[in-house]
């Protein structure tokens, strides 16, 4: 396996267990909510580290966000990624997936040569799974979603198993290429003390639209053809009933309750 230059695109998201939606605006509340590295991105980072350990090379993490998003880049560096790039400017704000992918693609091109781009399969705050493939389209490189087995590199090609709606598929793809990594594909490592120390001292490159030579009409809100009209949390409807009596009486009562839930029964499903 030859040495690769790998770009890992990651994202800072609200903590999945503490994310809330504003009932009036329908938007995700970010103020006052702990921000973390997108959980699915750990698997992309781990695959990049495995490839680097196997064949050598370099790994660079890239994200777009406010200054606070620098924290997820430092976390990636603490895990073993070599460098971090933050795309940060007020004109990037309000970007949908297309504008986000365009900015990240411009950032990747400005980094210079690369062999492989990895992303998580999707982010927990959006769940679209669109950004990775859109980056590949902007870069004009082949891509595959939901990588489920470690990548094998053979010369100027790679072999990748990925999940489809019809089963697993093995692809041979020319480099450079982009892969989104499925959740659970590997077991992400924990940062070492040495890694944490290096991440704390590492200089993070910060680029705005001028540095990446971005078209102002294709970034941020101006470059976003879609708008989020409403976001709602699913209503939780639960009903509980305590069964009393002997074990035999409780079993009989439970069977009676289940029978009432059968189609055609009063109170049951249609």
State the CATH number of the domain containing residue 146. Answer: 3.40.50.620
Evaluate whether 60 touches 7 at the Cβ level (below 8 Å): yes
Smallest CA-to-CA distance from 183 within 137, 129, 143, 141 is with 129
Indicate whether 74 and 178 sit together in one domain.
yes
Residue 234 lies in a domain: no
Q: Specify whether the backbone of 62 is left (phi greater than 0), alpha (psi in -120 to 50) or beta.
A: beta
Residue 268 lies in a domain: yes
Q: What is the pLDDT of residues 201-212, one digit of tens each?
A: 999 999 999 999
Q: Which domain holds residue 246?
A: 239-270
Residue 158 lies in a domain: yes
Question: pLDDT band at 26, cuts 50/70/90?
Answer: low
Indicate whether 58 and 186 sit together in one domain.
yes
Question: What's the total number of domains in the chain?
Answer: 2
Higher pLDDT, 268 or 202: 202
pLDDT for the residue numbered 210: 97
Evaluate whether 58 touches 82 at the Cβ level (below 8 Å): yes
Residue 90 lies in a domain: yes
Q: What is the pLDDT of residues 58-76, one digit of tens each?
A: 999 999 999 999 999 999 9
**At residue 257, does pLDDT exceed 90?**
no
pLDDT for the residue numbered 270: 46
Give the tokens for residue 67.
């200054």
**At residue 255, does pLDDT exceed 50?**
yes
- Sign of the CA dihedral with 55 first, then 56, 60, and 61 last: positive
DSSP 111: H
Indicate whether 9 and 132 sit together in one domain.
yes
Indicate whether 181 and 84 sit together in one domain.
yes
Indicate whether 128 and 252 sit together in one domain.
no
Indicate whether 158 and 269 sit together in one domain.
no
């Amino acid at each position: 396996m030859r040495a690769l230059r790998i770009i890992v695109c990651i994202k800072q998201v609200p903590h999945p267990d503490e994310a809330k939606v504003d009932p009036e605006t329908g938007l995700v509340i970010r103020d006052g909510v702990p921000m973390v590295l997108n959980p699915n991105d750990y698997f992309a980072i781990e695959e990049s580290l495995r490839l680097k350990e196997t064949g050598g090379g370099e790994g660079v993490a890239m994200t777009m966000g406010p200054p606070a998003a620098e924290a997820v880049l430092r976390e990636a560096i603490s895990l073993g990624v070599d460098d971090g790039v933050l795309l940060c400017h007020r004109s990037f704000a309000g970007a949908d997936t297309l504008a986000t992918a365009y900015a990240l693609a411009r950032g990747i091109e400005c980094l210079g040569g690369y062999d492989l781009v990895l992303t998580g399969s999707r982010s927990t705050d959006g769940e679209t799974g669109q950004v990775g493939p859109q980056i590949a389209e902007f870069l004009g490189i082949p891509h595959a979603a939901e990588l489920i087995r470690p990548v094998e590199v053979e010369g100027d090609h790679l072999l990748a198993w990925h999940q489809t709606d019809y089963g697993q598929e093995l692809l041979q793809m020319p480099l450079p290429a982009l892969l989104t990594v499925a959740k659970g594909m590997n077991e992400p490592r924990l940062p070492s003390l040495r890694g944490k120390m290096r991440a704390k001292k590492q200089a993070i490159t910060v680029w705005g639209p001028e540095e990446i030579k971005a078209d102002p009409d294709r970034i941020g809100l101006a470059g976003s053809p879609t708008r989020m009209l409403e976001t709602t949390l699913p209503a939780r409807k639960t009903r509980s009933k305590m069964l009393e009596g002997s074990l035999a009486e409780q079993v009989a009562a439970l069977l009676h309750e289940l029978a009432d839930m059968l189609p055609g029964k009063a109170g049951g499903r249609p």
